[in-house]
């Protein structure tokens, strides 16, 4: 158990809908990262937050947004969902958000868009 929690574990929804994925980092970690794992794209970085502020952005679509709250939990919002958004979404956390940090991953949320 990494100490990172993600809810829900599974999510099934329809095209055009909006969903919210939630992540709680390990105790003491200030930085949260979101990654998407799909069969065609592999594991891709989406976005990073550090202590409530956006720190880095990767290949995140405009239909996707995220935030980190004062209690350090984070939410990833996916809207106008398309079939191609079906994937495993991981949250990871680290102490300080630096490249030297080890990132610990949550169990993931498996999103299926029908």
Partner 1 sequence: AQKVTQAQTEISVVEKEDVTLDCVYETRDTTYYLFWYKQPPSGELVFLIRRNSFDEQNEISGRYSWNFQKSTSSFNFTITASQVVDSAVYFCALSEAGSARQLTFGSGTQLTVLP
Contact residues toward partner 1 (CB under 8 A) are: 2, 33, 35, 42-45, 48, 55-56, 58, 88, 90, 92, 97-108, 110
Q: Which is nearer to partner 1, 13 or 45 (CB)?
A: 45
In angstroms, give the least distance from the CB of 21 to partner 1.
15
Q: Which is nearer to partner 1, 16 or 108 (CB)?
A: 108
Q: How far is CA 88 from the centre of its chain?
A: 9
In angstroms, give the least distance from the CB of 46 to partner 1.
9
In angstroms, give the least distance from the CB of 57 to partner 1.
9
HSE toward the beta carbon, residue 17, CA cutoff 13 A: 13
Q: Which is nearer to partner 1, 9 or 18 (CB)?
A: 9
Q: Three-class SS string for the chain?
A: CCCCEEECCEEEECCCCCEEEEEECCCCCCEEEEEEEECCCEEEEEEEEECCEEEEECCCCCCEEEEECCCCCEEEEECCCCHHHCEEEEEEEECCCCCCCCCEECCCEEEEEC
Q: Which is nearer to partner 1, 27 or 102 (CB)?
A: 102
In angstroms, give the least distance from the CB of 14 to partner 1.
23
């Amino acid at each position: 158990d990494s100490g990172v929690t993600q809810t829900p574990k599974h999510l099934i929804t329809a095209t055009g809908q909006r969903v919210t994925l939630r992540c709680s980092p390990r105790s003491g970690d200030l930085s949260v990262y979101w990654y998407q794992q799909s069969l065609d794209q592999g594991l891709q970085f989406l976005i990073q937050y550090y202590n409530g502020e956006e720190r880095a952005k990767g290949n995140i679509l405009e239909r996707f947004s995220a935030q980190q709250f004062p209690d350090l939990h984070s939410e990833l919002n996916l809207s106008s969902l398309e079939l191609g958004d079906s994937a495993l979404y991981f949250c990871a956390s680290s102490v300080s958000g630096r490249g030297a940090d080890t990132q610990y991953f949550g169990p993931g949320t498996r999103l299926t868009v029908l």
